[in-house]
Amino acid sequence: MLLSWILPLVPLPFFLRRIPGLAPYVNAFIYVSSLGVLSVWGLILSIIMSPIGQGPNINYFTARSFYYFTSPLLGIRFKVEGEEYLRNTHPAVLVGNHQSMLDILYLGRIFPMRSVILAKKSLKWMPLLGQYMSLSYALFIDRKDPATSIASMSAAGKEMKKRDIDLWIFPEGTRTLKEENTLRQFKRGAFHVAVEAGIPIIPVVCENYWRLYHKGVFKGGDLKIKVLPPIDTSSMTMADVQALTTRTQEAMTAVLREISHSPTNAAPLSPTLEPEKDASLRGSVLKEVKEIAQPAPEPVPETQPVPVVSETQPEPVVSAPASTTGSTTPSMLESWTADEEEENGAVLVGRPRP
């Protein structure tokens, strides 16, 4: 009887999506509803799989179920390059860029088997979510106590090697959805874990999907994901963590720009995140600005020697204007609160808005 009422309503969102202005809200409803349905499915899977020793694979089956259920409904498809690195390297620390709650869809496409997440300890006691995380072998940290947090990160590396599992972390520590193809400064937590345990880092970059999803926009399309080759840490020490963090961020930033659409009104990029291939271009631009900014010399008689400009003359400093197109807050379409800033880059799960 209940199905006879529900089934006729299934095509309704697809018809409503054709009405101008309604499509973003219909897609948001489909996405959030899919999250709810698949959350229940994930809990059922965790109850079935954990007793038979398949706890580390719960996230894989839940993520894939969500992707194959939701992707056709939204019309969002992913093309993955380098997926073999995720299949053939275990254990490893997986680091990815973090844009919005839509990241769950790209995680659903590439989340590998025997992979878990790092979460703040308080989530362990949340109804349903906490039980799911515990059964799926999530690694919890207490971020309120720095000493305990560091100890938890060290224990995470040992646990990964013991169980031969991967750990997924968003090193930016919070979500950032904006038009420019840049990343926030990486936290070092993921890299501490990798170096201390002597396991590789695998960077994963999802294309900037601003053109498909931001405030007032939510539409289908094709997106790219690129998995970079593993970075070996077996010969590194804790003194190498900062350099490893910087190296990984620069590599991921370069790939993000390579696979993403160029923003329509891009602001100048931060020099600290600028890839080497853009250095010469930036230098030539500054030189042009300098030449334009300098006043033209007064006409000089032919017999008068031309004044020599000292090479030590300071160059004018050109400040990069702040971007006004980006937004680091969730859009009106999002039903979840923004992640809090994390010193260790832990994966956080937003809570539903009341």
Dihedral sign for Cα atoms in the order 62, 189, 134, 163 = positive
**pLDDT over 60 (residue 327):** no
For residue 49, give Cα distances in angstroms to 103, 112, 132, 157, 166.
25, 16, 11, 24, 18
pLDDT (tens digit per residue) in 160-214: 898 899 999 999 988 888 999 999 999 999 999 999 999 999 999 999 999 999 9
Scanning the structure block, which residue is given the tokens 């996230």? 59
Q: How far apart are CA 129 and CA 134, in angstroms?
A: 9
Contact between 303 and 134 (Cβ < 8 Å): no
More confident residue, 22 or 211: 211
| For residues 290-303, average pLDDT | 45
Looking at 144-297, list the stretches that DSSP marks H as alpha helix, in order from N- to C-terminal side: 146-163, 189-197, 241-259, 279-293
Q: What is the pLDDT of residue 148?
A: 73
pTM of the prediction? 0.72
Domain 9-259, classified CATH 3.40.1130, yes or no: yes
pLDDT band with cut points at 50, 70 and 90 for residue 271: very low
**Closest alpha carbon to 101 in 354, 326, 353, 322:** 353
The answer to whether residues 343 and 172 touch, using CB atoms and an 8 Å cutoff, is no
What are 101's two structure tokens? 């709650």
**Which of the four pLDDT bands, split at 50, 70 and 90, describes residue 330?**
very low
| Model confidence band, residue 4 (pLDDT cutoffs 50, 70, 90) | low
252 pLDDT higher than 70? yes
For residue 257, count CB atoms less than 10 angstroms from its CB and return exposed for 0-12, middle for 13-18, buried for 19 or more.
buried
Percentage of the chain surpassing pLDDT 90? 49
Would you say residue 221 has pLDDT above 80? yes
Greater confidence (94 vs 304) lies with 94
Section 25-35 average pLDDT: 92
Within a 13 Å sphere around the CA of 149, how many CA atoms are in the beta-carbon half? 18
Would you say residue 99 has pLDDT above 50? yes
- Model confidence at 30, pLDDT cuts 50, 70, 90, reads very high
- Check pLDDT > 70 for residue 243: yes
Question: What DSSP letter does each residue of 115-184 carry, written as one string?
Answer: EEEEEEGGGGGSTTHHHHHHHTTPEEE-TTSHHHHHHHHHHHHHHHHHHT-EEEE-TT-S--B-SS---P
| pLDDT tens string 48-83 | 999 998 989 999 999 999 999 999 999 999 999 999
